[in-house]
Amino acid sequence: MADHSDKWKELRKPFPKEAIGQIPKGGMKLDFVGHAAVTDRLLTVDPEWTYDFKAVDERGNPMLDAEGNLWILLTVNGVTRPGVGDGPNMKERIGDALRNAAMRFGVALDLWTKDELESTLDHPELKNEKPSAKPAYPSRKPAEAPKAADVSSAHAALLGELRGKLVAASLKGDDATSFVRGVIHKDKPETNSEAQAVIDALAELEG
């Protein structure tokens, strides 16, 4: 028997990342290599590769199984292995069956599983770059908790003005705290806008 070890290795070679896409199937997106890329790989390894339909009718047309699947027999380098495909029409069933049968020869094998294969653990150079392994969106750093507002000189001046107006309005201690809480729903203003709201309320009170 001829030694095809180099050709089998060629079948397992990963595809360029631009040749790998995703296809919706069973309510999820699956990584896959298109029919043309698989055919090109088969031609590179064995220009005389061929396939046959596992079942045909009296006119030689392919027949489907009870579940509507198409079965083929793919022969590469004199070795024959089965493949099965489905789809809405015969063209898509054939393409799917060829990808499935080629997978049994190692073509894009790791794209058919979400798990890590033993062979790719030992030989990571056989791995294809899976689109599904990439995050859907660029990773972002977690948002930092907002820092307490710095007490600027303007803010300090505004608080000083507020304290003066509270005293002028005879609001001290608990009375002042109650008034401030009634305006901004907290015991003391933490921002310029809150301080200004209390000042405005005092102005209305005085008016």
Instruction: For residue range 120-155, list pLDDT tens digits in order.
Output: 555 665 666 666 665 555 555 565 554 544 446 776
Domain limits, CATH 3.30.390, in the chain: 8-133
pLDDT in tens, 45-78: 999 999 999 999 999 999 999 999 999 999 999 9
pLDDT-derived band at 176, boundaries 50, 70, 90: confident
Does the predicted TM-score (pTM) go above 0.85?
A: no
8-133 is classed CATH 3.40.50: no
Buried b (16+ CB within 10 A) or exposed e, 136-174: eeeeeeeeeeeeeeeeeeebeebbeebeebbeeeebeee
